[in-house]
Amino acid sequence: MTAQLIDGNALSRQIRAEVAQRAAALTEGGHRPGLAVILVGENPASAVYVRNKVKACADAGLHSVLEKYEATMTEAELLARIDALNNDPTIHGILVQLPLPGHIDDHAVIEAISPLKDVDGFHVASAGALMVGETGFKACTPYGCMKMLESIGMKDLRGKHAVVIGRSNIVGKPMAMMLLAANATVTVCHSGTADLGHHTRQADVVVAAVGKRNVLTAEMVKPGAVVIDVGMNRNDEGKLCGDVDFDGVKEVASWITPVPGGVGPMTITMLLVNTIEAAERAAAQRA
Ligand SMILES: Nc1nc(=O)c2c([nH]1)NC[C@@H]1CN(c3ccc(C(=O)N[C@@H](CCC(=O)O)C(=O)O)cc3)C=[N+]21
């Protein structure tokens, strides 16, 4: 058996076309949606990601502003920029690219962003809203994973067992909350889990979000399971690869996401969706 691919590029194209329509309608009504992206320092990977985000905005008809700062920028200076963007009516979403230089406290910066403009979904208010089922912005990567499941007819996960590997604040924990909200029975595994395979073999859905190659191999997967790979690693040849042993697992799973072309593009797509959502809410407030 060979798994079918959940194509993140194709699904992104579909969703981004809807985003473009909503962006055009907003712009026509005098509420052009705007995203501010802040990049501090010279991390080459960050520079690529940020460029992709800005390009995705342009393609969908969103206004975007890229603010680049030297690595020597102080935390106070960055907080002052965020304060200005919080009060800028042309900006509906604020994204501060992580990681930040070591002398800046990520947490303080994220908490300074208005929750109304927190399109990354990283603010404690956004995390709390997800936890209690209130309206807030969902973290883009797990939100994208949920859209991928939805695209294969798995919007409601009642009766299904989902296993999340990884417990980060930006992927594992919000992923578990979203799966729970979709009625799955959820297990969260992590570096302290004794027998990972024991858990993953029970799973109808496995989400791997560790940041390490070959965390999930074929013998750890129940035949017919759906496998979502959030990992972004490089193999020995320098090629991009996920957390899943793709070649092995694809022989066991029913559906699998590739890397690249899977969760990565969906992360950017959901950033656009959140930004449109933020702009629509702001427009409704002003109407
Ligand atoms: N505030 C903040 N928000 C983020 O969302 C955020 C961040 N900081 N810091 C870094 C990570 C990383 N990230 C990616 C998004 C898309 C791809 C992506 O589209 N990847 C392509 C491949 C790109 C390539 O070829 O290198 C793919 O998987 O097909 C990758 C990585 C967002 N991040």
Residue 94 domain flag: yes
Tell me what the pLDDT averaged over the chain comes to: 97
Residue 8 domain flag: no
Atom of ligand 1 nearest to the CA of 120: 3
Instruction: List the beta strands (DSSP E) in 19-177.
Output: 34-40, 63-69, 93-96, 161-165
Residue 184 domain flag: yes
Summarised one tens digit per residue, pLDDT across range 152-183 is 999 999 999 999 999 999 999 999 999 999 99
Task: Tell me the whole-structure pTM to 2 decimals.
Answer: 0.97
Assign residue 62 the CATH number of its domain.
3.40.50.10860
Question: How much is the pLDDT for 286?
Answer: 84
The verdict on whether 21 is a catalytic residue reads no
Question: How much is the pLDDT for 287?
Answer: 77
Summarised one tens digit per residue, pLDDT across range 72-125 is 999 999 999 999 999 999 999 999 999 999 999 999 999 999 999 999 999 999
The model's confidence at residue 277, banded by pLDDT at 50, 70 and 90, is very high
Query: In this structure, what DSSP letter does residue 70 have?
Result: -
Distance of CA 152 to the CA centre of its chain: 19
Summarised one tens digit per residue, pLDDT across range 250-269 is 999 999 999 999 999 999 99
Task: Identify the bridge partners of residue 65 per DSSP, sorted by sequence position.
Answer: 36
ipTM of the complex: 0.97
Question: Can you spell out the DSSP letters for 198-255?
Answer: HHHTT-SEEEE-SSSTTSB-GGGS-TT-EEEE---EE-TTS-EE-SB-HHHHTTT-SE
Is residue 12 a known part of a binding site? no
The verdict on whether 204 is a catalytic residue reads no
Judgement on whether residues 144 and 244 belong to the same structural domain of the protein = yes
- Please check the confidence at residue 1 and state whether its pLDDT lies above 80: no
Domain edge (last residue) among 68, 101, 116: 116
Measured distance CA(12)–CA(263) in Å, rounded: 10
Report the residue among 13, 16, 39, 49 best suited for mutation to probe ligand 1: largest number of ligand atoms under 8 A from its CB: 49
Judgement on whether residues 108 and 147 belong to the same structural domain of the protein = no
Q: At a CB cut-off of 8 Å and minimum separation 6, what does 249 contact?
A: 3, 216, 217, 218, 221, 227, 256
Residue 258 domain flag: yes
Residue with tokens 């501010």: 36
- Cα 75 to ligand 1 centroid, rounded to whole Å: 24
Measured distance CA(49)–CA(36) in Å, rounded: 14
Summarised one tens digit per residue, pLDDT across range 200-235 is 999 999 999 999 999 999 999 999 999 999 999 999
Judgement on whether residues 106 and 144 belong to the same structural domain of the protein = no
Assign residue 243 the CATH number of its domain.
3.40.50.720
The residue segments making up the domain with residue 93 are: 29-116
Is residue 197 a known part of a binding site? no
- Please check the confidence at residue 6 and state whether its pLDDT lies above 80: yes
Judgement on whether residues 149 and 240 belong to the same structural domain of the protein = yes
| Ligand 1 neighbours (beta carbon < 6 A) | 48-49, 52, 95-98, 120, 140, 232, 240, 259-261, 264-265, 267-268
The verdict on whether 4 is a catalytic residue reads no
Judgement on whether residues 71 and 158 belong to the same structural domain of the protein = no
**Number of domains making up the chain:** 2
